[in-house]
Amino acid sequence: MTTPTEPPQLFRVVDDDVPATVEEPPRRERWAVWFFTLIVIGLVTGVSLWIYEIVDQPAVRLEDERVSREGLVATVQVLATNYSSTYDYCVEINIAALSRGGFNTAEVAAQPTRDDGRITPGQSVNFVAVFEGLTEEDYRERVDEFQAFVEQSERC
């Protein structure tokens, strides 16, 4: 059996004359640049979409609803105008009887007063819907207003 001449080295000896390599912690500036870049991209995207929504108007727009009621039968008319300068549109318009909370009490498909609902550029077509199934209680307690909306609009 042999005896060791040097004690075992449990720790590494550091030479004080040699500079130690020290890793720098990640800089905050690097993350700040990425963060602010992401913020700027989000702002530019948001403003672009906002401007697009303001500029992008539908080709077929509806005027205010005109309502006449005789007994339990309500007749609702709405004028649809094609603001496109190049395309004809075939539209389907529905009119809903809305409650005070904005819920549909009834909904009826409106029919064009002439032709088949084809609207040429610059032309207006009147659509009419007749509500016959509403009761006096519906008119008194549920129906607050009538609202027209374009169910389907496509180029003809």
Strand 118-119 vs strand 60-62: parallel, antiparallel, or unpaired?
A: unpaired
Enclosing domain of residue 125 = 60-155
Is residue 52, in this structure, part of any structural domain at all? no
Query: 59: pLDDT confidence band, cut at 50, 70 and 90?
Result: confident
Average pLDDT in the 8-33 region?
68
First-to-last C-alpha distance (Å) of the chain:
104
- Check: CB of residue 97 under 8 Å from CB of residue 67: no
Is residue 75, in this structure, part of any structural domain at all? yes
| Count of domains observed in the chain | 1
Global pTM value: 0.64
Which secondary structure element, helix H or strand E, spans residue 7, and what is its range? none
Beta strand segments in 16-72, E: 60-62, 66-70
Reference 88, options 115, 56, 117; nearest CA is 117
Query: 20: pLDDT confidence band, cut at 50, 70 and 90?
Result: low
- Check: CB of residue 93 under 8 Å from CB of residue 33: no
Is residue 27, in this structure, part of any structural domain at all? no
Is residue 36, in this structure, part of any structural domain at all? no
Is residue 123, in this structure, part of any structural domain at all? yes
3-state secondary structure of 43: helix
Is residue 51, in this structure, part of any structural domain at all? no
Task: Indicate which CATH number applies to the domain containing 124.
Answer: 2.60.40
pLDDT at residue 19 is higher than 80 = no
Is residue 134, in this structure, part of any structural domain at all? yes
Is residue 82, in this structure, part of any structural domain at all? yes
Average pLDDT in the 91-97 region?
92
